[in-house]
Amino acid sequence: MTLFDKDGVQLTVDGAVATVTLASPAKRNAQSPAMWRALAETGRLLPGDIRVVVLRGEGKSFSAGLDRQAFTPEGFDGEPSFLDLARGPAEELDATIAEYQEAFTWWRRNDLVSIAAVQGHAIGAGFQLALACDLRVCADDVQFAMRETSLGLVPDLTGTHPLVGLVGYARALEICATGRSVRAEEAERSGLANLVVPGAELDAATADLAAALLAAPRDAVIETKALLRGAQGRTYEDQRVAERAAQARRLRDLAGLGE
């Protein structure tokens, strides 16, 4: 069932699995502010019984990154150009970037597990969108790259935190500062990719992972995701406390006692 189809973004639902598709293959799914607003809207439209969200891109590339039209003086039709934003009030610039970031934040919700199915190029904003998801299944032709620094910019679409968490500070700095490509073998070895498969098997492998994620009770998965997401910000002792509290909730629930 299709719930949304606008500005190069489609949202379909099949049972407990939602699929968000970047649907501008002729432009290699290059991103724009309109696409970012559409991605944020898909998060708000998800039915409450959705447990897994798959993010995919039509065509040969997952996403080639920000549409270069953003850097022209005229920008996008009906949008302030990036140059005009830079010349405006600092508060307006900050608020606009925060709005853009909303397209990249909801994938981390504890009540969902998000999977990016990535093929071909995932550049800049495309790389950051893949990083926004919990898990990444990649085709063997994948090429991740963070090219913002070559344009005199920084990655600002929430990608720096998960990148450091996955590959460590030194490797993240090298990837971002050089803008080099990270290909499939390195992506899998470094933890960027949970799984690498031949391109023809990408959809099937992603569907298999989604099915495996649905096998466990939803509340147990939600509690586990919350524990793992919070682990880096807690001390070892604080994590022990969090584990005990989460387990107590699960045991009470299984005993039919509730909260």
Phi, psi of 5 (to 5 degrees): -155, 95
On the CB side of 152, CA atoms within 13 Å amount to: 1
Q: Is residue 179 part of a domain?
A: yes
pLDDT single digits (tens) 237-254: 999 999 999 999 999 999
Residues 147 and 62 in one domain: yes
194 and 226 share one domain: no
Record the pTM.
Answer: 0.95
30, 62: one domain: yes
Q: Determine contact, residues 11/18, Cβ cutoff 8 Å.
A: yes
- pLDDT of 74 above 80: no
DSSP tag of 226: H
The reported pLDDT for the residue numbered 75 is 78
Q: Any idea what the CATH number is for the domain that residue 182 is in?
A: 3.90.226.10
User: Above 70 in pLDDT, residue 258?
Assistant: no
76 and 152 assigned to the same domain: yes
**What single-letter amino acid sits at 65?**
G
Domain-located, residue 45: yes
Mean pLDDT value of segment 95-99: 96
Q: Residue 130: inside a domain, yes or no?
A: yes
Number of domains in the chain: 2
One domain for residues 180 and 237? no
Instruction: Please tell me the predicted confidence (pLDDT) of residue 159.
Output: 98
Q: Does position 174 have pLDDT exceeding 90, yes or no?
A: yes
Indicate the average pLDDT of the chain: 96
The pLDDT assigned to 78 comes to: 83
Tokens 């900050």 belong to which residue?
A: 94
| 247 falls within a domain | yes
pLDDT at residue 76, rounded to an integer? 85
Q: Which residues are bridge partners to 87 per DSSP?
A: none
To the nearest 10°, the Cα dihedral for 240, 242, 243, 247? 140
Q: What is the pLDDT of residue 249?
A: 95
Q: What is the pLDDT of residues 15-67, one digit of tens each?
A: 999 999 999 999 999 999 999 999 999 999 999 999 999 999 999 999 999 99
How large is the average pLDDT for residues 98-120? Answer: 98
- 259 pLDDT higher than 70: no
Percent of the chain at pLDDT above 90?
A: 90
Domain that holds residue 154: 2-214
Instruction: Give 114's strand partners.
Output: 53
In order, the DSSP letters of 122-189 are EETHHHHHHHHSSEEEEETT-EEE--GGGGT----SS-HHHHHHHH-HHHHHHHHHH---EEHHHHHH
235 and 146, same domain (yes or no): no
d(CA 158, CA 165): 12
